[in-house]
C-alpha cells in the first residue's frame, strides 16, 4: 500500500482490497462479532463494541483461508498501534474465534503475552468471554491452572503463555498471537523463537502468526526492529511476502514537524478515538509529560501516539538528541556527501576493546553551505563478547551496514586508513581530528598515506568541556535545518546515550556510567564538527596547460 500516507491522513482503510474467500470471511466475522466483551458495561458484543478498522483485519485473517485446499494465503499479520486501542482485547477475541473456525483436529493455538501477569489477564478475559455465552460454555473446557482452553469436539487447544517462560520449542502451532512484540523481542533467544514460529507455518499451511504491538519504549532493536522493518517494506511495496501490515504511524513529514503534539492529529494514529481512547486523557498525559521532562514526553509519545523513538531521550541527555530526527535524510550516503561537498573534515574516536571505533565525516555543501554528516563504526570480536546485552542492537546496526565486525585487531585501523585515503584522494579533505589521548596507532596507520601533523592533515581535538562548542553547534544546526545525516539507528542510539554532566565551571558530554550505552561514533562526529567550525578551505589543485614547461631556476 504505497499510498498509505494519503490513506491514513484521510481516515481511509489501511487494509487493501483483497481477493478474499468471502464465505470464510463472513462466517469468521459472524463468529467474532457474536463474542461479548466481559470488561465493558453491559458486556456488549463485538458487533457493537469493535471498531470497524479491526473488523477489516479480522475479515482478512478469516477470508485468506481457502477451504478447498486448506491453505491460508496470508499467513502473517502485523498490527502496530498505540495503547488503549483495544488491540489486546480484539486480538484475544480473534484467537478465540480462530479456535472455533479451525478445521484441523488437535490443533495448537498460542497467545503469547509479555509477562505472566498479562498472560493471566488474557486468560481471564477469554474465559469470561466464554462464560457469557451458554453455547460457548458447552463447547469449551477451560483449565485455569495451565491457562488453556480446549475445544471439546475437535480437541484443539488455545494456550495462553508468558514470554518469560519456555514458550516455543519444536511446537506445531496452527495459530500464534504475540502481544507486544517490542517487549517479547528483548527476551533472550527471541530470534530463535521467531524461527520456530515460522517453521511451524511451513508444516501448517493453514496456520498464521498474528503480531500486535505498540512502538518500543526505546529505539527499536533486535527482533522488533527487524519485524517492523519488514512490515514497512511490505507496506511500501519494496518487499513481496504473504504478510498484512497495518501500521498506525504519522507520515515522516509530520514527525519532522512534531505534529504529534497537536491534538487535532491524534485521530490519525488512534482509530479507536472516541471508543476506548479518550482525547481528554491523551491531552492530560502529554501535559503531565511536558512538565516531567523529555524522557517522559518521549515515553508517552511512543506509547499513545506510536511515535518511534529515534533516540532514548532523558532529562540529562544531550539537547541535540531531542531534535535528531529533524536532520534525517535517509538517502544520504558517503558517496552522495562527497559529490555535494566543497570541503570535508573527518573525526575519529574510540577503539578500546570494550568500545566501538567510530569514524565520522562532515562535508560542507557547495550550494547551501549546510553540513552533511555520515558515520560508521567498527567493533572487534572481543567487543561483541564483552557487552552481550548490546548484541541485539549491534546485530541490527550490522544488518543496516553501519557497523563492521573486524576479524582481528588491528584490522579496524586498516579500515580507517583505507577510508581516509579514499576521501583524501577526492581532494576535499581539510583535516582529520581525533582524541589526543587515543591517537596512538591511528597516527601510525595514517602516516602510511601521508596524513600527518607535519602535512597539516592530522590534529588532536580538545576533549571534555572544550568539545561542548562543537556539540552546541550541531544542536543549533539541527534546529535550523542546516545539519543533515542519514538517520541511521547507530547514530540515533549514540545520540540518545550521550549524557551532559555539569562541572564546577562548565558542561561536558559523556556516556552513562554503566558502559553499555556507547557514544564513540557521536564523539567522532563532534571531532569532525570541531574542525568544520573553523570554516576550512581546500585550495583547488593547480592545473598546468598542456605543452607548458615549468622553467628551471
* Whether pLDDT at 18 is above 70: yes
Q: Which CATH architecture has domain 4-253?
A: 3-Layer(aba) Sandwich (3.40)
DSSP labels for 193-209?
A: HHHHHHHHHHH-TT-EE
CB 31 within 8 A of CB 61: no
What's residue 506's pLDDT? Answer: 59
pLDDT for position 169: 54
Name the β-bridge partners of 108. 157, 173
What residue ranges do the domains of the chain occupy?
4-253, 325-532
Q: What CATH code would you report for 325-532?
A: 3.30.420.240
Average pLDDT of the segment spanning 145-159: 93
Q: Taking Cα atoms as reference points, which of 24, 104, 97, 118 lies closest to residue 63?
A: 24
62-66, 243-247, 321-325, 417-421: least confidently modelled range: 321-325
Distance from C-alpha of 22 to C-alpha of 253, rounded to nearest angstrom: 38
Q: How many CB atoms lie within 10 A of CB 517?
A: 18
Average pLDDT, the chain: 87
pLDDT above 50 (res 327): yes
**Cell representation of residue 283:** 491531552
- The predicted model gives 126-135 an average pLDDT of 93
Which percentage of the chain shows pLDDT scores above 90?
60
Give CA angle at 309 (304, 314), nearest 5°: 100
pLDDT band at 294 (very low <50, low <70, confident <90, very high): low
Of 231, 257, 229, nearest in space to 246 by CA:
231
Q: How confident is the model at residue 313 (pLDDT cuts 50, 70, 90)?
A: very low
Coil, strand or helix at 274: coil
Asked if 172 contacts 153 with a C-beta cutoff of 8 angstroms, the reply is no
Question: Which residues are 71's β-sheet partners?
Answer: 66
pLDDT of residue 309: 76
CA distance 172 to 258: 45
Query: Does residue 406 come out as left (phi exceeding 0), alpha (psi in the -120 to 50 range) or beta?
Result: beta
- Torsional sign, CA 419, 421, 426, 428: positive
Which residues touch 332 (CB under 8 Å, ≥6 apart)? Answer: 372, 374, 484, 485, 486
3-class SS at 498? coil
pLDDT at 263 > cutoff 60: yes
Phi-psi region of 450 (alpha: psi -120 to 50; beta: other; left: phi over 0): left
Query: Mapping DSSP to helix (H, G, I), strand (E, B) and coil, where does residue 110 land?
Result: strand
User: For residue 548, is pLDDT > 60?
Assistant: no
pLDDT digits 0-9 by tens, 431-458: 999 987 766 688 989 999 999 999 999 9
Q: How confident is the model at residue 539 (pLDDT cuts 50, 70, 90)?
A: low
156 pLDDT above the threshold of 50: yes
Question: Which range among 218-227, 291-300, 364-373 has the greatest average pLDDT?
Answer: 364-373
Residue 51 CA: distances (Å) to CA of 13, 46, 112, 351: 12, 9, 23, 53
- The packing angle between helices 489-497 and 391-400, to 10°, is 140
Q: What is the pTM of this model?
A: 0.67
Dihedral of alpha carbons 190, 125, 206, 28, sign: negative
b/e burial code for range 48-64 (CB count within 10 A of at least 16 → b): ebbbebbbbbbbbbbbb
Specify the pLDDT at position 547: 56
* Percent with pLDDT over 70 in the chain: 90
Q: What is the mean pLDDT of residues 8-12?
A: 95
> Can you give the C-alpha Rg of the chain in angstroms?
28
Q: Give the Cα-Cα-Cα angle 474, 476, 480 (nearest 5 degrees).
A: 115
Q: What is the pLDDT of residue 194?
A: 85
- Per-residue pLDDT of 88-122, as tens digits, reads 889 999 999 999 999 999 999 999 887 888 878 88
What region does 170 belong to: left with phi over 0, alpha with psi -120 to 50, or beta? left
Task: With cut-offs at 50, 70 and 90, classify the pLDDT of residue 183.
Answer: confident
Q: Would you tell me how many other CB atoms lie within 10 Å of the CB of residue 280?
A: 8
Question: For residue range 29-74, what is the model confidence (pLDDT) as tens digits?
Answer: 999 999 999 989 999 999 999 999 999 999 999 999 999 999 999 9
Which has more pLDDT, 291 or 259? 259
Name the pLDDT band for 282 (thresholds 50, 70, 90): very high
pLDDT in tens, 490-534: 998 888 888 777 665 556 676 654 455 788 999 999 999 999 999
CA atoms of 453 and 465, how far apart (whole Å): 24
Amino acid at each position: 500500500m504505497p499510498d498509505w500516507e494519503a490513506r491514513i491522513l484521510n481516515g481511509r482503510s489501511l487494509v487493501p482490497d483483497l481477493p478474499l474467500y468471502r464465505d470464510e470471511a463472513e462466517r469468521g466475522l459472524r463468529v467474532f462479532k457474536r463474542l461479548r466483551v466481559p470488561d465493558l458495561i453491559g458486556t456488549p458484543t463485538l458487533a457493537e463494541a469493535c471498531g470497524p478498522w479491526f473488523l477489516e483485519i479480522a475479515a482478512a485473517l478469516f477470508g485468506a483461508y481457502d477451504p478447498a485446499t486448506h491453505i491460508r494465503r496470508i499467513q502473517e499479520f502485523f498490527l502496530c498501534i498505540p495503547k488503549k486501542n483495544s488491540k489486546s482485547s480484539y486480538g484475544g477475541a480473534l484467537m478465540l474465534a480462530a479456535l472455533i473456525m479451525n478445521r484441523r483436529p488437535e490443533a495448537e493455538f498460542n497467545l503469547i503475552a509479555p509477562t505472566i501477569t498479562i498472560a493471566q489477564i488474557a486468560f481471564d478475559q477469554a474465559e469470561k468471554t466464554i462464560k457469557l455465552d451458554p453455547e460457548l460454555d458447552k463447547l469449551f473446557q477451560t483449565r485455569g491452572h495451565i491457562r488453556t482452553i480446549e475445544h471439546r469436539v475437535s480437541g484443539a487447544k488455545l494456550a495462553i503463555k508468558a514470554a518469560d517462560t519456555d514458550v516455543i520449542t519444536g511446537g506445531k502451532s496452527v495459530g500464534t498471537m504475540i502481544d507486544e512484540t517490542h517487549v517479547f523481542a528483548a527476551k533472550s533467544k527471541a530470534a530463535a523463537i521467531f524461527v520456530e514460529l515460522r517453521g511451524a507455518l511451513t508444516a501448517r499451511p493453514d496456520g498464521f502468526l498474528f503480531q500486535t504491538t505498540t512502538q518500543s519504549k526505546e529505539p527499536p532493536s533486535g527482533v522488533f526492529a527487524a519485524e517492523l522493518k519488514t512490515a514497512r517494506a511490505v507496506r511500501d511495496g519494496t518487499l513481496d511476502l504473504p504478510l498484512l501490515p497495518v501500521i498506525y504511524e504519522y507520515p515522516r513529514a509530520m514527525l519532522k514537524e512534531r505534529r504529534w503534539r497537536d491534538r487535532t492529529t491524534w485521530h490519525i494514529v488512534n482509530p479507536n478515538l472516541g471508543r476506548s481512547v479518550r482525547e481528554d486523557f491523551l491531552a492530560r498525559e502529554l501535559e503531565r509529560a511536558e512538565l516531567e521532562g523529555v524522557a517522559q514526553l518521549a515515553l508517552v509519545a511512543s506509547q499513545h501516539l506510536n511515535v518511534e523513538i529515534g533516540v532514548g531521550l532523558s532529562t540529562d541527555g544531550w539537547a541535540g538528541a531531542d531534535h535528531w530526527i529533524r536532520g534525517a535524510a535517509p538517502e544520504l550516503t558517503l558517496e552522495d556527501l562527497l559529490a555535494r561537498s566543497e570541503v570535508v573534515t573527518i573525526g575519529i574516536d574510540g577503539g578500546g576493546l570494550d568500545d566501538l571505533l567510530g569514524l565520522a565525516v562532515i562535508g560542507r555543501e557547495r550550494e547551501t553551505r549546510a553540513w552533511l554528516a555520515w558515520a560508521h563504526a567498527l567493533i572487534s570480536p572481543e567487543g561483541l563478547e564483552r557487552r552481550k546485552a548490546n548484541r541485539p542492537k549491534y546485530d541490527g546496526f550490522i544488518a543496516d551496514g553501519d557497523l563492521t565486525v573486524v576479524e582481528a585487531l588491528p584490522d579496524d585501523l586498516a579500515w580507517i586508513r583505507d577510508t581516509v585515503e579514499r576521501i583524501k584522494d577526492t581532494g576535499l579533505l581539510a583535516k582529520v581530528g581525533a582524541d589526543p589521548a587515543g591517537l596512538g596507532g591511528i597516527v601510525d596507520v595514517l602516516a602510511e598515506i601521508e596524513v600527518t601533523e607535519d602535512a597539516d592533515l592530522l590534529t588532536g581535538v580538545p576533549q571534555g568541556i572544550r568539545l561542548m562548542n562543537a556539540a552546541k553547534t550541531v544542536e543549533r544546526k539541527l534546529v535550523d535545518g542546516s545539519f543533515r545525516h542519514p538517520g541511521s539507528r547507530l547514530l540515533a542510539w549514540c545520540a540518545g546515550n550521550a549524557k551532559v554532566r555539569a562541572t564546577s565551571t562548565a558542561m561536558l558530554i559523556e556516556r552513562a556510567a554503566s558502559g553499555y550505552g556507547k557514544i564513540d561514533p557521536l564523539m567522532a562526529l563532534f571531532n569532525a564538527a570541531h574542525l568544520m567550525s573553523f570554516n576550512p578551505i581546500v585550495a583547488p589543485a593547480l592545473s598546468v596547460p598542456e605543452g607548458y614547461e615549468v622553467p628551471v631556476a
